[in-house]
Amino acid sequence: MTELVIPDDAPPPLVHYLRMWNEHDLDEIRTHLDRCVADDCLWIDPLHQHVGRDALEENVRGFRTEFPDAVLALGSNIDSHNDRHRYEWVITVAGGETLLMRGFDVATVNDAGMIDRVDGFFGMLQRFGPE
C-alpha cells in the first residue's frame, strides 16, 4: 500500500504541503495552507497556474473531491539547496494498486519560511546516456 512517508529532515513547510494533498477533511485544507504557503504563492503545473492561497485551496479541494481515495506519496528523497526543494511524487488509488499519476515538483521557500512557488511537472524524465 502506498502511503505518505515524510523524511525526518524534510523542511517544515513541505511537511504541511504534502499532508495537505492527502487531507480528507476539506475544511482542514486551509489550515495546512496557512501553515506552509505564502499569501501570494505561485503554483504552476502543465494544467494549472494559480496565484494565492485561495486559488490553490480551490484546486486541492477539487482534487480531493474528484479523487477522494487517492494518496499522494513521495517517490524519491527531497533534494534541497538554496531554499529550493525537488522531489518526485506518485498518486495512487485502490490501496496503492493503481497508479493515477506521477511527476515531480520544485518548491521554493521564502525568507519567512513559507512556500512561495511550486513548479510541478507530470511524468518522469526520459533518461539518456550511460547509467
CATH architecture of the domain with range 12-122: Roll (3.10)
| Average pLDDT value for the chain | 94
Average pLDDT over residues 107-120: 98
pLDDT of 95 over the 90 cut: no
Instruction: Give pLDDT tens digits for 75-87.
Output: 999 999 999 999 9
At 39 the pLDDT is: 96
At 2 the pLDDT is: 65
Q: Is 5 helix (H, G, I), strand (E, B) or coil?
A: coil
Q: Are 13 and 20 in contact (CB under 8 A)?
A: no
pTM: 0.91
pLDDT of 1 over the 60 cut: no
CA-to-CA distance for 65 and 24, rounded, in angstroms?
A: 9
